[in-house]
């Protein structure tokens, strides 16, 4: 997973527990959309593939 400010915030010791499905997905959808529209790469959370080659 790529490390971003968004990921770091959710993994912080004082972060709130995730909501149950589908509420967490709904909540995240709004922030994802805002980050995409603002082109704010610090908060994009798309999956990435890493290769050692």
Q: Give the pLDDT mean for 11-40.
A: 85
Q: Decide if 6 contacts 35 (C-beta within 8 A).
A: yes
In order of 3, 6, 53, the CA distances from 50 in angstroms are 13, 20, 9
How many alpha carbons lie under 13 Å from residue 31 in its C-beta half-sphere? 16
Question: What integer best gives the mean pLDDT of the chain?
Answer: 79
In this predicted structure, what is the pLDDT of residue 36? 80
């Amino acid at each position: 997973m790529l490390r971003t400010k968004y990921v770091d915030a959710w993994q912080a010791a004082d972060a709130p527990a995730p909501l149950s499905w589908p509420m967490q997905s709904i909540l995240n959808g709004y922030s994802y959309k805002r980050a995409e529209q603002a082109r704010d790469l610090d908060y994009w959370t798309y999956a990435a593939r890493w290769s050692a080659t």
